[in-house]
Copies of this chain bind each other. A is one copy, B any other.
Amino acid sequence: MQLGRVTGTLVSSRKEPLMEGMKFLVVRQIDADGGDTASYVVAVDAVGAGIGEVVMYASGSSARQTQLTKDKPCDAVIMGIVDTWEVDGETVFVK
């Protein structure tokens, strides 16, 4: 999984019918120190994430393994909200 910060929202009214009712969030990928990178992804939200939260997202076919996204044309899903994250014995992030 990759880590990112939810930074925005996206509205798409004309879309593949299978995606009806899904919430699309803009997630900016963060580096190992918790800083923003230039990369982002639009992910379906399976856990009720809010703007500013640090999240884990799964990509590719694994993004279709939640109940919400099963058999949908979805290649990125937020599947966890991060509480704490430690690297090299130091706390990088606490919610």
Contact = CB atoms under 8 A, between A and B. Distances in A.
Number of copies: 5
A46 B83 CA distance: 22
Contacts of A41: 1-2
Interface string A27-58: 01001100000101111001110000000101
A62 B64 CA distance: 8
Contacts of A8: 85-88, 92
Contacts of A1: 24, 41-43, 74-76
B47 A3 contact: no
Give me the 6 closest cross-chain CB pairs, A-B, nearest first.
A15-B80, A8-B87, A12-B80, A62-B75, A65-B73, A16-B79
